[in-house]
Amino acid sequence: MGAMQQWLREQSTVRARRGTVRNTTARNTTVRNAAAGDSAARDTLLDLASNDYLGLSIDPRLQAAAIDAIGRFGTGARASRVVTGTQPVHAELEAELCRLTGQPAALAFSSGYAANLGILTALGGPGTLIVRDEHCHASLIDGARLSRSPVEVFTHGDLAALDRLLASRSQPRAVVVVESIYSVLGDAADLRETARICAKHDTLLVVDEAHGIGVAGGGRGAVHAAGLAGAEHVVLTATLSKALGAQGGAALGPAALRAHLVNTARSFIFDTGLAPAAAAAAAEACRIIAADPSLAQAVLGNAAIIAHVCGIEQAAGAVQSVPVGRAEDAAQLAVRLEEAGVLVGCFRPPSVPDGISRLRLTARADLAPEQVWHAAGLVAGMVAALEAGTPVPVGGIDAAMHLGRVGAR
């Protein structure tokens, strides 16, 4: 066996021992059909693991917009946006993103990951210090690394530490990177105070709104809710693949930032443009969210139920995170819950910054509160049994699915 093959085998054994094996198994999670009374959907899982916070990925209005865009522009963008890949649907999407978030200009990328790589590499370099919160998403960490900037990391949420780092910098420019709602723990950044510190030190603040848009501020995001939309020193990135129910990403801020990204962001220039169907679906999602703040309220209402039933403090966004402890226990509970009909996320090291493994439960606007009560109850029961060392209860989600059929939006 070659050295590489040997190493791959060893790595696989280590993952299995640590309980950190990931897989790409397809799952049948068409919950909306079950909620609508489709008996063929009886066997589907109740999905509390996805990021489709508003249930828009299966909304007929988004599907119609995507199909129409395919008819008009084709199934692919065919080239980089700076060659021939820009279609009118990209301009439409960027305008809708601006309208939703209150930002002056937007640039769509092919993913949120690409947007984060693009903005940090385009703003960074030896003359720019990048200072980021320790809980930042992998795409922000990678963007900072790739930028060739000096990088400082501050303890999660420690704004006094941020202030000190900026005060002692030697670089002429600095960029601070935070998430509006953090992806694992679901807690919110103090954006007003962070922006104030950034202004004091003549620093640009980049806020990743991946988990904020569609959920915070009635759907317009946490930057808008903090009264910072349009502030010259606050820019944001977004994904189109969570609350917006589509695929892709964006960077938003002043027109000068957009122009700089078009000309220098490698993950924009050397990447095929966002597929027209995804752009059209996301544009439609922006219109729906802007017109209906009750969607965001429904997410937070269901999040409150999960937090209450599981006995945890409610996190700021859709994602509620239930500490379990050992990675193997978290993985085992996720499997048992799936057997019982509920799909939950499972965060294990190295994804969890503090090393405590967690079940990750996502509140969705399109689930009936009764469904969420039942599913969260199942989770709470299993976690309690694990903690007490008693047998983990077996039982299905049928009752919840039934109630869902009656009561889902």
Ligand X SMILES: Cc1ncc(COP(=O)(O)O)c(C=O)c1O
- Identify which of residues 116 and 194 has a Cβ nearer to ligand X in the complex: 116
Q: How far is the CB of 249 from ligand X (least distance, A)?
A: 5
- Identify which of residues 94 and 179 has a Cβ nearer to ligand X in the complex: 179
- CB 92 within 8 Å of CB 65: no
Instruction: Give the separation between CA 204 and CA 198, rounded to whole angstroms.
Output: 6
Instruction: Give the separation between CA 123 and CA 266, rounded to whole angstroms.
Output: 11
User: Which residue type, as a one-letter code, is found at position 47?
Assistant: D
Q: How far is the CB of 369 from ligand X (least distance, A)?
A: 26
Residues 53, 55, 56, 57, CA torsion sign: positive
Q: How far is the CB of 238 from ligand X (least distance, A)?
A: 8
Closest-CB residue for ligand X?
A: 112
Q: How far is the CB of 276 from ligand X (least distance, A)?
A: 17
Q: How far is the CB of 209 from ligand X (least distance, A)?
A: 8
* Three-state DSSP state, 76: coil
Instruction: Give the separation between CA 372 and CA 302, rounded to whole angstroms.
Output: 7
| 117, 120, 124, 129 alpha-carbon torsion, rounded to 10° | -130
Q: How far is the CB of 285 from ligand X (least distance, A)?
A: 13
DSSP H or E segment with residue 322? strand 319-325
Q: How far is the CB of 380 from ligand X (least distance, A)?
A: 25
- Identify which of residues 216 and 408 has a Cβ nearer to ligand X in the complex: 216
* Three-state DSSP state, 289: helix
Instruction: Give the separation between CA 48 and CA 305, rounded to whole angstroms.
Output: 13
DSSP H or E segment with residue 315? none
> For the stretch 225-257, what's the b/e string if a residue is b when 16 or more beta carbons lie within 10 angstroms of its beta carbon?
bbebbebebbbbbbbbbbbbbbbbbbbbbbeeb
- Identify which of residues 286 and 340 has a Cβ nearer to ligand X in the complex: 286
User: Which positions lie near ligand X, rule CB under 6 A?
Assistant: 111-113, 116, 137, 139, 179, 183, 208, 210, 239, 241, 249
- Identify which of residues 94 and 163 has a Cβ nearer to ligand X in the complex: 94
Q: How far is the CB of 302 from ligand X (least distance, A)?
A: 19
Instruction: Give the separation between CA 95 and CA 318, rounded to whole angstroms.
Output: 26
Instruction: Give the separation between CA 283 and CA 246, rounded to whole angstroms.
Output: 9
Q: How far is the CB of 180 from ligand X (least distance, A)?
A: 9
- CB 103 within 8 Å of CB 222: no
Residue 397's alpha-carbon distances to 113, 246, 355, in angstroms, are: 35, 28, 30
Instruction: Give the separation between CA 101 and CA 112, rounded to whole angstroms.
Output: 16
- Identify which of residues 247 and 302 has a Cβ nearer to ligand X in the complex: 247
- Identify which of residues 273 and 404 has a Cβ nearer to ligand X in the complex: 273
- Identify which of residues 183 and 371 has a Cβ nearer to ligand X in the complex: 183
Q: How far is the CB of 179 from ligand X (least distance, A)?
A: 5
- Identify which of residues 55 and 341 has a Cβ nearer to ligand X in the complex: 55
223, with CB counted inside 10 A (0-12, 13-18, 19+), is buried
- Identify which of residues 154 and 182 has a Cβ nearer to ligand X in the complex: 182
- Identify which of residues 360 and 405 has a Cβ nearer to ligand X in the complex: 360
* DSSP string across 93-161: HHHHHHHHHT-SEEEEESSHHHHHHHHHHHH-STTEEEEEETT--HHHHHHHHHTT--EEEE-TT-HHH
Six token digits for residue 242: 């969570």
Q: How far is the CB of 372 from ligand X (least distance, A)?
A: 22
